[in-house]
Structure 1
Amino acid sequence: MKELPASARAVVIGGGIIGCSTAYHLAKLGWTDTVLLERKKLTSGTTFHAAGLVGQLRTSANITQLLGYSVDLYKRLEAETGLGTGWKMNGGLRLACNEERWAEVRRQATTARSFGLEMELLTPKQAQDLWPLMTIDDLVGAAFLPTDGQANPSDITQALARGATMAGAAIFEDTEVTDLEIDAGRIRAVVTARGRIECERVVVCAGQWTRAFAARFGVNVPLVPMEHQYLITEAFGVPSNLPTLRDPDRLTYYKEEVGGLVMGGYEPNPAPWAVSGIPEGFHYSLLDPDLGRFEQIMELALGRVPALQTAGVRQLLNGPESFTPDGNFILGEAPALRNFFIGAGFNAFGIASAGGAGMALAEWVTKGEPPFDLWPVDIRRFGRPHFDADWIRRRTVEAYGKHYAMAWPSEEHSSGRPFRTSPLYERLKAQGACFGEKLGWERPNWFADLSAGETPQDVYTFGRPNWFAAVAREHRAVRERAVIFDQTSFAKFALKGRDAERALSWIAANNVARKPGSVIYTQMLNDHGGIECDLTAARIADDEYYIVTGTGFATHDFDWIARNIPAGLDATLKDVTEDWSVLVLMGPRSRSILQKLTDDDVSNEGFPFGTVRNITVAGLAVRAMRITYVGELGWELHLPVAGAAAVYDALMQAGRAEELANAGYRALETCRLEKAYRAWGSDVGPDHTPVEAGLAWAVKTGGQADFRGRAAVERQLAEGVRKMLVCFVPDDPETVLFGRETIYRNGERAGWLTSGGFGHTIGKAIGLGYVRNRAGVDADYVRSAAYELDVGGQRLPCTSHLAPLYDPSGKRIRS
């Protein structure tokens, strides 16, 4: 047995397909002293029993791109390494058995076109021609993606391993990692049963073992092993070129294998595995089949593929797979430990993801950043509820059971709720609040009119939903009177210290070196000018800032700020989210209401926009910030949690004559779209710069102060950009937009919508999206064209706008 090296540049832990792909890509990037350690044998964890379907389309353009990279890699891997992979690009079919599913499939086809994939919509007979084994009596239609395929997971893994060693990496099987040496928050070495390897970077790709291993070092990886079953038949003449098939209404999937079929599915009553821990020595192991749970899948499959009734059964396989609470996998550098990277939790599509995931991890390790924005799978999307093992398990069980369920727009999870609540939860619930959940927080989405018999419950659809009228009421109240939003769930940080201004001035793109009492809207940029954070910073004192960001970005933004405080500066960041409630009073009558409850001057002269003041409201101390995300006069009232209920009650009492109303997050969204306010994670992110997003006005260029990303922004200002964020309004007022609809400029595909919704003031749908052109985009380029949006396969004419559609006086702005 060969000896372990004394040192390595990076150590990959785990010899499944993700680990081998990561080692392959690290070596290809020149890190030839990469070492991969596998406690048993390559593929012996869960890779060996994966089904091997390779699909590409996801709801994120970048995750779709990542999976597309996997396909490109698998095409060439056999020629490169000399090892077979079982790769076949035989395409993938997806069926629709009812009109709502057909609406979903048509929307998916639009998304595919937006992301550069050509998904064909087929009649039932056309689908049967491609997959003659199936019955089509209940089919409405189908979609076919020609570049999807299938592979042999173990063969691809071995090919990746050979490719890694050919490029210089070293792989050691039967080598268990027992510990890490960590000094002052930095990894110094990996300790194994066979010796010690000095290194500074570790990539954990240990599948279902990842959570327990990472937890030993303070890193939280929320995944749950779940039992997953599929059937392998004997050969019965199945053509080798048969596409993979997904039949979500029957919860099943199929692929050809050696003249027979693999058939599996996602039952609504799944079973978590190893709740008390994975058994010692578990490898190359399967679980006993659960015939009772699989019977429901089998009955559904027989209705689609009658030949299964007489086909011989070679094996009913039950193996554990790692699933996550939101159905997306987990990549990236852990916020709790520098140079500790994770690639795990692949929700049974690890084979499809492995090529791209390994590439992305390798770039993250070697370059300090991913190749593109990977927020949907970034480990920093998790937060407080994801430390609770019971909560994770309940939510993951729900996510698994919904694997093939309808992907409804705006759908909320139901498990593990309520988990985190504001002091107003019971009050708002009694007034008809229909709550959504974000990072464990209960947040009012909309309010039912209980006196009119409305029920505060979502009914999902691809058309106009049951909350449409309620949100319209709240929207009008924002524009015409006043509302209260409970935004206690905001993430809130305190940055304190003698050098707080110097630190934040480097991290923030806008000018934060303003006098105490100022509120600054700012982005935080990477070296390419991409927007890593989009938030507000209120200067409370010479040595303190109060930073407020979105609920779901708590871990991400805290990590970004903390990592970018220059070494040696006296500036400390603290999460104070739990200390503060936030009541947001908005609307043209908000000043009148607030003035009734305070002796402080809240006039425009006494309390200008973009300022923060400590005022007394109903006898309680409040940190009031005059700022808006809806485009109306208003304040964010930040106050200790203990006083929230009293201030809320006082506001509602004082506002009774002004017709003050409650409003939820869905009205907030409709209002922000009319003002074209950007949302991080959809309209802006690490792949978008302030110049491209129309936010250059919020960047402190021209002065002497340097900041991260400055050079990239100034270069774009001088040279121009290749994409620009534009607002689109379909001509037809009945159009429903969700985002990802394809933008056509003069008949040519030019981008896709990053977000979509309805503007109740203008009475039409609104979409935001980037118009793209490699030769450059400017305002004249945008204006000098006719536009259409592809909505579920229909081209609909629309108008483009470079200015907001609404101003506070109620006038529509035409561009």
Structure 2
Amino acid sequence: MKTQVKALVVGGGAVGTSIAYHLARAGWDDVMLLERDELTSGSTWHAAGLLPYFNMSYATTHIHDYSIRFYKTLEEETGLNAGFAVVGNLRMAQTDARMDEYMLYASTAETCGVPYQWMTPEEIKAKWPLIRTEDLKGALYHHTDGYINPADVTMAMAKGARQRGVMIERKWQVDAFHWNGTHWEVTATKMVEKGGNLIPSDEQITITAEYVVTASGNHAQRTAQMLGIKIPAIPVEHQFIVMDQDPELVKFRAEGNVEHPVIRDADAQSYVREERGGWILGVYEKHAPARFEYGVPDSFRADLFQLDLDRIEDQYMAMNHRIPSAEECGLKDDFNGPICYTPDGNPLVGPAPGLRNMWLAEGFSFGITAAGGTGYYLAQLMVEGEAEIDMASLDPKRYGDWMTTEFAARKNEEAYEHVYILHHPDEERPACRPLRTSPAYDRQAARGAQFGWVNGWERPNYYAPEGFDDHGARSFRRGGWWQYAVEEAKAIRETVGLIDATAFTKHLVRGPGATQFLDWFTCNKLPSVGRINLTYALTGHGTTRTEYTIVRLAQDEYYLVSAGAWTAYDADYLGKAIADKAPEFGYIECHDMTTQWGVFAIAGPKSRDVLNEIVKDADPATVLSNKRFPWLTMRNIELGMCPVRAIRVAYTGELGWELHHPIEMQNYLFDQLEKAGEKHGMKLVGARAQNWLRQEKSYRAFGNELGRDATPLEADLPRFIDLNKDFHGKDALQKTGVRSKCVTLLIDGPDDADPWGREALYHGDTRVGRLTSGGYSVAFGKSIGLGYVTPDLAVKGTKLKVKMLDQLWDAEIVEDSPYDPKNERIRVDG
């Protein structure tokens, strides 16, 4: 057994074997996989093996699509049949809202090239007469997927990995990780059978590895403890039952009919598929408990929990309603096993926080579906530095150190029961909330704030009258909240509005090496003291890793503001880059100031008037004038008794300021602003209106238009790139060129709906791109969106079509910043 390798994969389920296979296929010839028991002995062995395409995430859809295509090639390569039954996937809808969900998903699927077709209840009944259809609205049918044998596909990938030189060692448990400064030293103990249990022996080895990947499944909490990090991957009980033969089904198949597709009755929280003349029923019910919050017991191997039939009674009865002949079937077998989840249901794939060359592949609730694609794209990240798709939405650092075991367990239970809940784009899930609140939270709640969740923070989405039902207001069209967001957007365009932006990520970077480091780290010119610049930190491939507003406080002191959803993600990248470059540039400090500074953004034609009411200065009439406080500058001012770091920018494109203040003074400042704003008609404004307004200005958003799959040049932001200096990613940026280009579109869409930023774009009959943002424009009285198209079409006046609600709607590419393109309103003097 080798004790020195290039890459060590820990975990021998479907995900771990796929990673080992794909690392070897990508060219690494010294890869080892360790499994503490037998391959597939974790969640893999009792998985139902379904391969659903359906996912609202762009990255996850690509991952699932790769898996489905990849699994079909394994037999030819390895000689092993992976047990792929390409029967299709029939996703049925009982309500109009469910059909709306499927139409949004279908357009998203088109952007990834995923095939689908629509079926009416009559078409379903004609093809599969055992299914009751009179209460259905229709269905979405994926004919290219189905289900697979989890053990078989894992063994096929393992054989393929061995054929490519991967060493797979079973019955070795990893007990410690140690980073020696250049490599990982991994301590492993030989496990032996004793009385049906697996126990550690006295035999230990230390394996030195340049790279380590953990794919430890249900054992993720043990992995986290050994690494000294937090991993919000905790299993939840998942039940499915296998039924005896259904005589009607046996008769149907004997007549020469093909196997039923996987039948998904989303409104009944269940799926059904054929199994040897009978049926398998799997459910995603309420009150399924999290398990192993603090680690898997040593005695738990390929084991199951006791079945809780009472918990799934409603789903069982719903199956009998949907397939009446199933009511005559007896129970043949049952499974209740641990399936790992994360708070948002998406896996954790990418570099571990704070660690070098340590990669995580944890928290797979749909591990069989995701295994192939995860191995492929993670191997790209590790071998090439970036994947061909933006993997940021799956990055483990989307949860920061504020995350606790209790939070993860409760949110994972919620994610499980929400698998088949309607996934509204404006969905807000209630578990573990409120948790992170700014001081003004209670004041905002009292004024009707309906809160969204951003990296644990409560942030107002919009404000509504007392008694308003936020949950009931959600829709795939213009929900009940829409009218309030319209009024808020109009207030900023016509008078003045106040937005809570406290969730912004804030870092202080200073020291003798700070200027030289940031000049290398970001692609724009650094601002002079007292001024600000918008800039980007790039990946080694020249794509956008982070967007920053940089405020230069002093010669070697900088205040960096970035997106609130990405605090740990940005902190990790920034901190590792500083550690790498400090020996070259000199001493650099970096401090996360996010929880120390609150932020209010005030914007609108009357924003200066409001601030003039409370600003304290020897000449208060001029302190906010263009002469003393120009656009894109920072000044330390006093608003009443509150010291404020005021930045003259506005994400809405109107006259405005960001008011960064000591967070302990936030309520005082809020009261002062509210009182001063009353005479000027100031309105409290939420994130949804702000999102619409920034699209009228063509302001790109990180995670939407900006990400690791596009360069700033492709985002059409050359004005923020200084090609006269050297910066990280410059050569790759120039070499990549412009593969696609970001544009702004005005859309003549339906009267009751706007795009969400997940829709396909067409030129004639050809799909040419996708939207990355969408919403409503109060300035133009129609829908608006930002997205990417082929460069030849990225011209003002180009006519396109947007796929919404299963129809193509007229859209036109307009000039960048169609609202106030000369920025006259944002620069207005007073």
223 and 119 in structure 1: CA distance in 2 versus 1, 3 angstrom threshold: same
Distance in 2 separating the partners of 1:362 and 1:615? 50
Distance in 1 separating the partners of 2:293 and 2:813? 53
Using the TM superposition, give the Cα deviation of residue 492 of structure 1 relative to its aligned residue in structure 2, in angstroms.
0.7
Are 1:713 and 2:733 matched, yes or no? yes
TM-superposition CA deviations, 1:530-583 (whole Å, max 9, x none) = 111112111111121111111111011112222223241322221111111111
Residue equivalent to 1:796: 809
140 and 396 in structure 1: CA distance in 2 versus 1, 3 angstrom threshold: same
Distance in 2 separating the partners of 1:605 and 1:531? 34
Residue equivalent to 1:316: 334
Segments of structure 1 that go 5 or more residues without pairing to the other structure are: none
Residue equivalent to 1:215: 225
TM-superposition CA deviations, 1:399-437 (whole Å, max 9, x none) = 111110111121101011111111111111111111111
Residue equivalent to 1:395: 411
Are 1:282 and 2:304 matched, yes or no? no
Larger CA deviation: 655-664 vs 36-45: 655-664
Residue equivalent to 1:201: 211
After TM superposition, list the pairs within 5 Å mapping 1:681-760 onto structure 2. Answer: 681-701=703-723, 703=724, 705-715=725-735, 720-730=738-748, 733-760=751-778
Residue equivalent to 2:398: 381
Q: Is the 8 A contact 1:189 1:200 kept in 2?
A: no
442 and 148 in structure 1: CA distance in 2 versus 1, 3 angstrom threshold: same
Aligned counterpart in structure 2 of residue 151 of structure 1, from 142, 148, 151: 148
527 and 778 in structure 1: CA distance in 2 versus 1, 3 angstrom threshold: farther
Distance in 1 separating the partners of 2:613 and 2:165? 73
Distance in 1 separating the partners of 2:777 and 2:712? 24
Residue equivalent to 1:167: 164
TM-superposition CA deviations, 1:612-650 (whole Å, max 9, x none) = 111111122111111110000111111111211112211
Are 1:442 and 2:458 matched, yes or no? yes
335 and 73 in structure 1: CA distance in 2 versus 1, 3 angstrom threshold: same
Using the TM superposition, give the Cα deviation of residue 275 of structure 1 relative to its aligned residue in structure 2, in angstroms.
4.1
Distance in 2 separating the partners of 1:497 and 1:379? 30
State TM-score, norm by structure 1.
Answer: 0.94
Q: Is the 8 A contact 1:385 1:419 kept in 2?
A: no
Larger CA deviation: 357-366 vs 272-281: 272-281
Q: Is the 8 A contact 2:547 2:562 kept in 1?
A: yes
Are 1:339 and 2:357 matched, yes or no? yes
TM-superposition CA deviations, 1:761-815 (whole Å, max 9, x none) = 221111111112xxx42644x64x4321111111212222132231289999xxx
Q: Is the 8 A contact 1:434 1:458 kept in 2?
A: no
The alignment's C-alpha RMSD in Å is 2.0
Q: What SS class does the counterpart of residue 72 from structure 2 fall into? A: helix
Q: Is the 8 A contact 1:325 1:399 kept in 2?
A: yes
Residue equivalent to 1:108: 105
Q: Is the 8 A contact 1:109 1:121 kept in 2?
A: no
After TM superposition, list the pairs within 5 Å mapping 1:193-272 onto structure 2. Answer: 193=190, 194-236=204-246, 237=250, 239=253, 241-272=259-290
Q: Is the 8 A contact 1:727 1:801 kept in 2?
A: yes
Q: Is the 8 A contact 2:386 2:541 kept in 1?
A: no
Q: Is the 8 A contact 1:631 1:808 kept in 2?
A: no
Aligned counterpart in structure 2 of residue 593 of structure 1, from 583, 586, 610: 610
After TM superposition, list the pairs within 5 Å mapping 1:42-53 onto structure 2. Answer: 42-53=39-50
Distance in 2 separating the partners of 1:809 and 1:474? 24
Q: Is the 8 A contact 1:445 1:665 kept in 2?
A: yes
Residue equivalent to 2:566: 553
Distance in 2 separating the partners of 1:627 and 1:244? 52
Aligned counterpart in structure 2 of residue 521 of structure 1, from 528, 534, 538: 534
Corresponding letter in the other structure for 1:777: D
Are 1:471 and 2:471 matched, yes or no? no
Q: Percent identity?
A: 36
Distance in 1 separating the partners of 2:461 and 2:36? 48
Q: Is the 8 A contact 2:107 2:759 kept in 1?
A: yes
Using the TM superposition, give the Cα deviation of residue 29 of structure 1 relative to its aligned residue in structure 2, in angstroms.
1.9
Corresponding letter in the other structure for 1:616: E
Residue equivalent to 2:194: none
Using the TM superposition, give the Cα deviation of residue 759 of structure 1 relative to its aligned residue in structure 2, in angstroms.
1.1
TM-superposition CA deviations, 1:476-532 (whole Å, max 9, x none) = 1111111111111111111111111111111111111x3211111111111332111
Q: Is the 8 A contact 2:233 2:408 kept in 1?
A: yes
Residue equivalent to 1:630: 652
Using the TM superposition, give the Cα deviation of residue 95 of structure 1 relative to its aligned residue in structure 2, in angstroms.
0.1
Residue equivalent to 2:32: 35
Residue equivalent to 2:828: none
Corresponding letter in the other structure for 2:477: G
Larger CA deviation: 256-265 vs 801-810: 801-810
458 and 808 in structure 1: CA distance in 2 versus 1, 3 angstrom threshold: farther
Distance in 1 separating the partners of 2:753 and 2:447? 31
Aligned counterpart in structure 1 of residue 380 of structure 2, from 343, 363, 367: 363
Distance in 2 separating the partners of 1:356 and 1:22? 9
Q: Is the 8 A contact 1:131 1:243 kept in 2?
A: no
Q: Is the 8 A contact 1:478 1:586 kept in 2?
A: yes
Aligned counterpart in structure 2 of residue 182 of structure 1, from 179, 199, 208: 179
460 and 742 in structure 1: CA distance in 2 versus 1, 3 angstrom threshold: same
Distance in 1 separating the partners of 2:133 and 2:498? 52
Q: Is the 8 A contact 1:180 1:191 kept in 2?
A: no
Distance in 1 separating the partners of 2:757 and 2:552? 35
Corresponding letter in the other structure for 1:541: A
Q: Is the 8 A contact 2:743 2:813 kept in 1?
A: no
Corresponding letter in the other structure for 2:576: R
Distance in 1 separating the partners of 2:149 and 2:127? 22
73 and 635 in structure 1: CA distance in 2 versus 1, 3 angstrom threshold: same
Corresponding letter in the other structure for 1:746: G
Segments of structure 2 that go 5 or more residues without pairing to the other structure are: 191-203, 826-830
After TM superposition, list the pairs within 5 Å mapping 1:511-660 onto structure 2. Answer: 511-512=525-526, 514-565=527-578, 566-568=581-583, 569=585, 570-598=587-615, 599=617, 601-660=623-682
Q: Is the 8 A contact 1:203 1:342 kept in 2?
A: yes
Q: Is the 8 A contact 1:327 1:399 kept in 2?
A: yes
Aligned residue pairs: how many?
A: 795
Q: Is the 8 A contact 1:384 1:439 kept in 2?
A: no
Larger CA deviation: 203-212 vs 215-224: 215-224
Q: What SS class does the counterpart of residue 11 from structure 1 fall into? A: strand
TM-superposition CA deviations, 1:34-56 (whole Å, max 9, x none) = 11111111111110000001122
Q: Is the 8 A contact 1:219 1:337 kept in 2?
A: no
Distance in 2 separating the partners of 1:664 and 1:498? 40
Q: Is the 8 A contact 1:23 1:164 kept in 2?
A: yes
State TM-score, norm by structure 2.
Answer: 0.92
Using the TM superposition, give the Cα deviation of residue 217 of structure 1 relative to its aligned residue in structure 2, in angstroms.
1.6
Q: What SS class does the counterpart of residue 545 from structure 1 fall into? A: strand
Q: Is the 8 A contact 1:458 1:467 kept in 2?
A: no
809 and 689 in structure 1: CA distance in 2 versus 1, 3 angstrom threshold: closer
Distance in 1 separating the partners of 2:819 and 2:719? 19
Distance in 2 separating the partners of 1:457 and 1:286? 36
Distance in 2 separating the partners of 1:607 and 1:68? 52
Q: What SS class does the counterpart of residue 777 from structure 1 fall into? A: helix
Larger CA deviation: 15-24 vs 786-795: 786-795
Q: Is the 8 A contact 1:523 1:533 kept in 2?
A: yes
